Chains A and B, each alone.
Chain A
């Protein structure tokens, strides 16, 4: 029925087909052209997925916050305990600070080493060099592997020699290291070099393995960004006598600002989400505690400490909101 009504509102077809002609009041006409059926359809197209998303993602997030003020084992009635979980978390629970320390080191190693390394590789491989494609493929291959597979592949390297790990078998087989002194790469929870503020030795191994995968990821993202930089900018810099380093830091890096934000957000989020690798190695215990593994180990194990686990989840949420909000602010700015 409304088809006839709306047809009168439509601009003449000749105007529409005129390529590149800007239509006056484009946006208003959009809406008025829609039939009632179309409007219902569009509402469903967005509404149903949005509803499911709100319930499953944001609804559960709110429930996590609520549960963090309770003591619940999943069976008995829920008991409200106010801030008790948080008090115990901050003052009495030793693994919490261990996890915070490990998450911080994750972030530090990613930001200070893996991400710059990925950027460096991207800059090196962006130039016309022979075999660039092969190098890129090799550096990127670890990224397509699941972290569970990555964990297993590295166990083949880093298991102790008694377990036939390659590195230790090589160290002891060549006589470089006495079997008793061979490092237990994934097992030794003592601090690296005996310095307390450093991560545990096995966490350091995990960070190397995680970097192995993160470097290629950043490289590909950054390469795409570099390809989009206007080549005339570089030429202009070269004519002005800038060398490659100066050109990168003073010309290319600043115009890559949007990609740089993405890279930082990806890096921070990845280091907060870290879970699979430590879980496949030892379930995130014995030196490999992370906030993410503390959540599941407390709440989804036999212990069923749902309230306490939720409190850790809330801490993780609060930290994660920092990069998320930073990112969204950027998206909003480009949208407007």
Chain B
């Protein structure tokens, strides 16, 4: 490729320039990386400092710690119902992710493997809806949830409003839009001969879906599971407006009230923020590959 002969001196000059630009590049990137990481690093640091450290120091938190301790974590866990909020998060997030993947994989299977006339229309309805700002529909949704009766044990108050089931339902519905889009694109890349061969063997639609197609979609499903977990875990909006009972809110939405309680004690507020951040950061660090793949599966095909 670089078969063009270049006089020796120019090569040297070019190399020097290249090395200089590399140094500049790393300098730029490291400074930026520090700026990006700083608020999170500081959050960890502050959460480990005793409050007394900060109020006795004239420069407040701009000071060195007398000691680092986990007391703030112990305090907020013991005093703030955080464990309950985490439990609520699990009760909402896990079923919502599983339902989303199950339902969207069925829809995607049906519209991508059988030449339905409505194939494109279904996809458009889902994708467009998925892109709507949720605030556009929240008012009627609250009214609708209040009007829809629901029986125990799915509902404790006889309605869909202020119930886990209601929040799980809206997450599942919204996210089915995105996942169907991604999964149907993925399934289209699987050879149709697989379905045809199975049909010849007498397999029914459900067998083909569960025994032939679904196993082949494992990479896409894993990527989507990681992505959807993060998104639903991070939801603030729905849980804020579809619950009125504060005790039912998941951790992210509960931060709205927790903030008011702990704003006067910054180290404790930092501990709360870090606790709320840990699950998604751990998932991201451990399953980074899936996470990024999930995002790009959705984007690259668009």
Residues of A with Cβ closer than 8 Å to B?
3, 10, 13, 16-17, 19, 23, 26-27, 29-31, 33-35, 37-38, 41-42, 45-46, 49-50, 52-54, 56-61, 63-64, 67, 74, 121, 124-125, 129-131, 134-135, 137-142, 144-149, 152-157, 159, 161, 163-166, 169-170, 172-174, 212, 216, 220-221, 224-225, 228, 235, 238-239, 258-259, 261-262, 265-266, 269, 272-273, 275-276, 279-280, 291-292, 295-296, 299-300, 306, 309-310, 313-314, 316-317, 320, 323-324, 327-328, 330-332, 334-335
Contacts and interface: CB of A to CB of B under 8 A. Distances in A.
Contacts of B233: 146
Interface residues of B, number: 112
B163 interface: no
B129 interface: yes
A156 B273 contact: yes
Interface in B134-158: 134-144
B196 A16 contact: yes
B120 to A, nearest CB: 6
Contacts, number: 330
A42 B110 contact: yes
A129 B134 contact: no
Contact of B131 (A269, A291, A330): A269
Nearest to B262: A152
Given A57-B129, A60-B141, A258 B302 contact: yes
A296 B237 CA distance: 10
Nearest to A228: B300
B59 A169 contact: yes
Nearest to A298: B139
Interface of B: 1, 22, 25-26, 28-29, 32-33, 36-37, 39-40, 42-43, 46, 54-55, 58-63, 103-104, 106-107, 109-111, 114-116, 118, 120, 122-129, 131-144, 169-170, 173-174, 176-177, 180, 192-193, 195-197, 199-200, 202, 204-206, 209, 230, 233-237, 240-241, 252-253, 255-256, 259, 263-264, 266, 269-270, 272-273, 276-277, 280-281, 283-285, 288, 291-292, 295-296, 299-302
Contacts of B272: 152
Q: Most chain-A CB neighbours within 10 Å: which of B180, B199, B269?
A: B199
A45 B134 contact: no
Contacts of A320: 131-133, 136
A153 B36 CA distance: 12
A289 to B, nearest CB: 13
A259 B299 contact: yes
Given A141-B281, A147-B234, A296 B135 contact: yes
A2 to B, nearest CB: 12
B200 A10 contact: yes
14 contacts: A34-B114, A41-B205, A42-B205, A46-B110, A46-B116, A52-B173, A57-B137, A124-B28, A146-B255, A153-B39, A269-B133, A316-B135, A317-B136, A334-B301
A46 B107 contact: yes
Contact of A35 (B135, B204, B285): B204
Contact of A64 (B137, B197, B296): B137
Contacts of B28: 124
Contacts of B62: 166, 169-170, 173-174
Q: Is the interface of A mostly helix, strand, loop or mixed?
A: helix
B164 to A, nearest CB: 16
Which among B29, B180, B192, B269 has the highest number of chain A CB atoms within 10 Å?
B29
Contacts of A145: 234, 277, 280-281
Given A156-B46, A269-B131, A221 B204 contact: no
A295 B87 CA distance: 30
B191 to A, nearest CB: 9
B139 A152 contact: no
A47 B281 CA distance: 37
A64 B237 contact: no
Given A139-B33, A147-B236, A220-B292, A292 B135 contact: yes
A254 B173 CA distance: 36
Given A145-B277, A166-B62, A295-B135, A49 B106 contact: yes
Contact of A157 (B32, B42, B180, B296): B42
A279 B129 contact: no
Contact of A60 (B40, B144, B204, B300): B144
A280 B144 CA distance: 26
B116 A299 contact: no
Contacts of B137: 56-57, 60-61, 64, 313
A294 to B, nearest CB: 9
A299 B125 CA distance: 27
B281 A31 contact: no
B297 to A, nearest CB: 9
A76 to B, nearest CB: 14
Given A53-B177, A157-B42, A296-B241, A335 B300 contact: no
B135 A313 contact: yes
Q: Which 8 A-B pairs have the closest CB atoms?
A: A173-B59, A146-B234, A224-B296, A169-B60, A63-B140, A60-B137, A57-B129, A60-B140
A327 B127 CA distance: 9
A224 B292 contact: yes
A6 to B, nearest CB: 9
Most A CB contacts (10 A, CB to CB) among B1, B110, B283 go to B110
Nearest to B130: A57
Contacts of A280: 236, 255-256, 259
A316 B256 contact: no
A146 B140 contact: no
Contacts of A26: 192, 196
Contacts of A144: 230, 234, 280-281, 283-284, 291
